[in-house]
Structure formats: structure tokens, C-alpha cells
Amino acid sequence: MDHKPPPPHVVVVGGGLGGLAAASALVNRGLRITLLESRPRLGGRASSFNDPKTGEMVDNCQHVSMACCTNLADFSRRVGIADLFRRESVITFLSPENRISRLRAGIGPAPFHLAESFLSANYLTWNDKLRVGYGLACLARNHDVRPGESFADWLWRHKQSVRTINLFWATVLVSALNERLEQMDVGHARRVFVDGFLLNRSGFQMELPIAPLGELYGARLETWLREREVEVRLTTGVRSIDCGDDAALQGVTLRNGERIPADFVVLAVSYDRVAGMLGETTLAGMPALAGLNRLESSPITGVHLWFDRPVCPFDHVVTPGRFIQWVFNHTAIQGRTATTSTSEDPDGGQYLQIVISAAYDLLAMDKTEIRDAVLADLVEMWPAARDASLVRWWVVTEHGATFAVRPGVDAFRPPQRTPIDGLFLAGDWTDTGWPATMEGAVRSGYLAAQGILDDLDRPARLIRPGLKSGVLAKWLLGRSSRPSVPPDPSRFVPQLDALNPADVAT
């Protein structure tokens, strides 16, 4: 009798977007796939919790994507959730004096398609605009970037004022990169402007989910994967990745002691869990992981407010120069289809979600203080907030929301392929060239899956290219580059002994 060898077994550890992207790209390729997730739900950091008072799914925080995130878009199409995003081609800004400006593509070709909106933005004076224009031109040309320098220092050296820094640069970048300008990598800042705002006419447009994250990346994904014979095991924490004495990959051991043999493992957990799961001996053979203990985290606060009546007249609004940074009108965003929009829920109330990125200053505040500071901003912006009653509220601060894009950070991010045959890493913190975003996480998962297919001699190109650059933009800016500045070598001193598994929570 002919005995066919069993299909290669791939174990994906972690059901965040990195792990989900890897698993989704490997289905229907004759592999046995097991996805292990320690929490009772998929989605990782992009997920929802159930409000115990109402049973409603509430997102941990609003997640926004941009049209330049081509791999996230590919993933959404692949797993059949693309219909749950809505494209916003106009971004609304409200100045500190409550004047409205809108960012939309005008008639000019990239990179000048946003010039008209920029020149008419009323939260900047003409003097501010000249300064910002000069700064943007220098940034696009990668002018005079010094190793280890923060973006704030670069801005000071490029004639930016306190006003332009606070009202323009911080407004765009603090939320895009979840970091303060004083500790932000210049290359990543440049990339946001070049990839997002300059190379392509539509790259800056926003993609907003019109369903809770828990439905997008949780329930829908789980069904999609199970239908394709992926064994999804929730509430299944992995304790360790197992390698033999010869450093050959054997599989994984669960927290309950169960051992699962595997031909390939994609370790798609957050960076602070990796050392504890690999163990000292394995780590010692992986110099690319020596920089992991140099990665740091940056917090994000999401404030959820349910009012008894409409307060905010917009679907979303960016608020330069305020304590709050973005307001999302969830009643309007999630209560609509691709063609309709309503600012009221059936009871006449409104659910707003306020996002504050790089929320370091909020860590010392209690939740009521944060709520009151947010309400004070809302009342200044919309008098209706003064009369409205707050029916319910949540303040959710994710301390480790993303890894921090500190100067030179890319030197500490390991590639997806490891020196151990069959063991791959995934997660937004791995080397993708992207900051900690859903796009970065999906890219990492695709790169890990590509590595597995290469090893099986079934190469496939999973990574999607970026949006096509406009002809003029390409000529003026060249291709978007990875951060071009080498890190300050003094920041990168491998400290293997500091990666003590005992110090790392699993």
C-alpha cells in the first residue's frame, strides 16, 4: 500500500494580526496548520472587550489604517473582511479656534496633490506654511540627518517653530507613530510623509472599520480559518519553543505541559515574551535577538463616551493643539453602510471614541481626571457637550500599545527567519521597515509564511508592493527608502545576559 507522508505541520503561536496573516497565507497549500492563542479570542492588540453593563463589543481602541497599507488591504480581501472597512477620502481638522479645514486630494499630481488643502488649512498662518513647506522639502530629500538624532532635534535644526511643531508635525506624527517627537526616529517620520502623503494621490486616505475589531479579526477570522481546516485553539498558552540538543526545532510545549510536535513554528507573540519562550540556550545562538531588550513600549489611551444626544457633528475630526488628538464618532461610523451616514443612534444618543497617542503624560492621571480633561476639550469644541448627559464611559490605557520608534530602533528588530531551521518570528516589532501598525504586523506574518514556503521549495510572493508612485513624485523623491541613518552604535550593545527568561512574563 502507498503511504503518503503526513503534511508538514506548521504551528503558529499567537493569534494577533502577525499570526493571523501567516496562517491565512498558508491555508490551502497542503499543510497542517495549528494556531495557538493564549487569550479566549483572536485579534491580539486589535480586538474588543465585552462591556459588562450592556454586553456590547467595545474596541480596545479605534484602529485606523491608510490606503498606503497595501498588505493589510490584501489580508482583508484574502479573509473576506474587506467589506467591513470604509474609505475616508477627506480628513477633517478642527483648529484650536474651532475653524474647520479639510485635507483632500486636489487637482495637482503627487507629490503636490495635497498642496491646495495645505495652503488653505486655517490652523496654520502663512508664515507657518512657509516653514512647514521648507521642512517637508528637506525631509523628503533626507536632508542632513544625524545618527541617533530625534525628529524634534531635526525639526529645530530645520527652522521649525513651536507653533509648526505643535500644530503640524506633532498632529500628523504622534498619532501615526505613537511616539513623542523628542524621542522619534527621523527615518520613520520621513516615511509617514513620503509613503502616506507624497508618493501617491490616495495614500493618505483613511480606512475605518465599520464593525467592532472583535468581529473583524475575532469571530470572522476564526470561522474563516476553521473552514479551511486550521485548528484554532484559544485559551491555549504556549510555555516554550522546544529545540533538541542539536538545536533542531521539535515543536512547542503548552502551559499545561502538552507537547505539540511541529515542522515549522511561527512565533508571533509580542517582543517581551520571546526571550522567556525560547530559553537562554536557544537565545544564545540567535544574535539577531540580542537587541530585543532595547525595544521599549509606548502607551495609547482610548476614551469611550456615550452621550444621551449628538455632540459631535463630524464622523471623525483631528484636533491640533489640544489634549485630545482624534475624535471618532462611532455612532456615525459603525451605524452606517458604505453609502449612508447617521450621527444618531436609534435612542438619539451618540458614542464617541477619543484617541490620545504617546499617552505618557496620562499614565500618572486617574481615569476620572482623564475623562474630565477630555470632556473639557469637547465642551470647548461643541457647546452641545455641555448640555449632554454622559450615560456611560470607559478609559482604556494600553501601556504596551506599540513598540516605541525611538531613534535607531530598526537596529534592534530581528528578521522573521531565525538561525533555527523551521523557526520563524512574526509581529509588528520584527524587521518590516514599518512602525508598529496592523500593516507592519501583516507584513511580518506574510514574510514568515514566505520563508516557510521557500523552505518547502514552493516559493510564493505574498508581500504586496506599495501603491504606485506618481511619475513626478518618483522623479522628485525616488522610491521611499528605509530609514537611511545608521543607528548610533553606542545604543546597540548586545546584552544577552539581560535577556533573562525569568525577567520576562509569559
Ligand X SMILES: Cc1cc2nc3c(=O)[nH]c(=O)nc-3n(C[C@H](O)[C@H](O)[C@H](O)COP(=O)(O)OP(=O)(O)OC[C@H]3O[C@@H](n4cnc5c(N)ncnc54)[C@H](O)[C@@H]3O)c2cc1C
Q: How far is the CB of 217 from ligand X (least distance, A)?
A: 8
Closer residue to ligand X in complex, CB, 45/330: 45
Q: How far apart are CA 53 and CA 505, in angstroms?
A: 31
Which three-class secondary structure state does DSSP give residue 330? helix
- Closest CB to ligand X among residues 416, 480: 416
**CB nearer ligand X, residue 232 or residue 453:** 232
The Cα 430–Cα 183 span in angstroms is 20
| Beta-bridge mates of residue 185 | 150
Of 331 and 437, nearer to ligand X (C-beta) is 437
Whichever of 19 and 320 has its CB closer to ligand X, that residue is 19
Min dist. Cβ of residue 238 to ligand X (A): 4
Give me the amino acid identity at 145.
V
- What are the start-end ranges of the E strands in 213-339? 231-233, 238-243, 249-254, 259-261, 264-267, 297-307, 316-318, 326-329
- Shortest separation between residue 278's beta carbon and ligand X, angstroms: 12
| Contacts with ligand X, residue ranges (CB under 6 A) | 13-19, 36-39, 44-46, 60-61, 63-65, 237-238, 268-270, 273, 300, 302, 398, 401-402, 427-428, 436-441, 506
Measured from the CB of residue 239, what is the shortest distance to ligand X in angstroms?
7
- Within 10 angstroms of residue 383's Cβ, the number of other Cβ atoms is 11
User: Which residue in this structure is represented by grid cell 451605524?
Assistant: 335
Q: Considering beta carbons, is residue 123 or 328 the nearer one to ligand X?
A: 328
Q: How far is the CB of 101 from ligand X (least distance, A)?
A: 21
At 126, phi and psi to the nearest 5? -65, -35
**Least distance (Å) between residue 15 CB and ligand X:** 5
**What cell numbers appear for 499 in the block?**
535577556
| Cα separation values, 389 from 182, 349, 481, Å | 38, 10, 49
R_g of the chain, CA atoms, integer Å: 23
Label the pairing between strands 32-36 and 9-13. Answer: parallel
For the bound state, the minimum distance from the C-beta of residue 195 to ligand X, rounded and expressed in Å, comes to 13
Least CB distance from residue 220 to ligand X, whole Å?
16
Q: Spell out the residues 6+ positions from residue 162 whose beta carbon is closer than 8 angstroms to its own.
A: none
Query: Distance between CA 287 and CA 498 in Å, rounded?
Result: 13
CB-based contacts of 271, cutoff 8 Å, min separation 6 = 292, 295, 403, 427, 429
Q: Are 218 and 63 in contact (CB under 8 A)?
A: no
Q: In angstroms, what is the minimal distance from the CB of 207 to ligand X?
A: 9
Nearer to ligand X, 310 or 320 (CB): 320
Q: Give the residues across from 101 on adjacent strands.
A: 93
Q: Based on CB atoms, which residue is closest to ligand X, 92 or 164?
A: 92
Q: Which is nearer to ligand X, 34 or 65 (CB)?
A: 65
Q: Has 238 been labeled as part of a binding site?
A: yes
Q: Specify the pairing of strand 65-66 against strand 206-209.
A: antiparallel
The residues, ordered by sequence, that sit 6+ positions from 280 with a Cβ below 8 Å of its Cβ are: 499, 500, 501
65 vs 450, beta carbon nearer ligand X: 65
Least distance to ligand X from the beta carbon of 425, Å?
Answer: 10
C-alpha cell at 274: 520571546
Q: Cα dist. 129→113, 136, 324 in Å?
A: 16, 10, 23
- List Cβ neighbours of 493 (8 Å cut-off, separation of 6 or more): none
456 phi and psi angles, rounded to 5 deg: -90, 10
Question: Coil, strand or helix: which one is 10?
Answer: strand
Annotated binding site: 238
User: Binding site for FAD: residue ranges?
Assistant: 238
